[in-house]
Structure 1
């Protein structure tokens, strides 16, 4: 088994995770999240949009059939264990109970905020949103990714408080708002994928700084460690990308990609990830149509 990472952050890839039941088709896994019981929720583009698994990869159940567009994009589980799904092509963010009962919807389903020549006419959400994160105070930050080029902040009641951003490459502008997270310092991390950077703001949308990173696509902040997936660079059509870990000040802790392994399928363009309480990392490889688990080695 090839060891990945370095120092305190060493991992080994678990072969064949999860244990997909016979005749069961997961589809393309887009995002992943973990609830308070340690159950892993995988959001996929296929007949079974939300599947639930044990850490060992055993199948628990699924829900969401017929509820989403063909391109659901992001999943986030709050402290109350409710499950948020951001549906890119339906232009909404939806909150569900852990068992799949729809509780509320932000945005107007199948009704995108209007654009003109690819630019958003007004700031109302959403136009092809990608993901969301909930801050420690309960506010909800939504990445309005492919069409909106904005970040929207809602309070816990779902009331829109503010929006910021527009299409571009300058500070506070976005080419693709692919993901968002809020750290313990109340800073909002935004994966501006196609601008090859992570931009950092305060909760009022004030630009603070940016980290220049190639194709930063997925983010999870756990115990003040920033975990990132990078879809590129591609080493060939179906074999590329990397994973990197940083501290909150932007110091690189470790990283790895396929070139650091004898196994040329260590990862296939990682799209997003989440981190378990014990440090294990679960990665969605949407183009490879598979999940990967990287077990933390102590």
Structure 2
């Protein structure tokens, strides 16, 4: 059986794509049990060794909100010396940013919501208040010379409010850019987006694709197709989680993220350069699946590891 996709150079829409790995943060935050700090640190080291150079390592949220990430300082401190690596961390507010700065963070990410209901459930405040809070965080990050990225959660659909129209998302993206985010990731938080919906949102944001990313969940099996549409539209940074880990502790209908291995199989088959070793990454996800005591949901991981993960 083939262990690598057969590339067809020249048929892919891009020569190089950044895979923004979110497993250590967005993946492990959804676990029912707390993963040991040493396992998290080893995971980040393994992801880096496989070639992933952008790894969102943790979140500086209050431990009472997400106890799975209460060891944020320890994890970041243990991996901060990795060479040639972007190691962003999520910060929910000024206090989170201060903790991150004290721990040595050089890149942070902020989150706003396209819907009022999710803002109140996830961010503990109204949608507008959440944006104002993010703007304050971004201003302070800029003062410290720290790079920043933004997420717009529920950019396609919300479990309480239903379908989200592109016109509801665009002003939030623009405000995050204005506030200092180099790139804004469009979050399909509960995995309800379809290629047509992704295309519609990217159409109204046309001309700014280099400043966008896509963050997909695979609830309805559409995440990889949605990533392909984003790639064709000119988006050059795609979020994914090793082994398909993840969910959202505040949106129970959310399932795992797009698996990094599944994304890589598609990208490599199109001749797109990522710098990541797919076999090494699949082995890492199989290793983590063993630590978590369940098989990896990624089809590519199961295929490359003989289903033993």
- TM-score w.r.t. structure 2 length? 0.33
Higher helix content, 1 or 2: 2
- TM-score w.r.t. structure 1 length? 0.34
Query: Which structure is higher in RCO with an 8 Å CA cutoff and minimum separation 6?
Result: 2
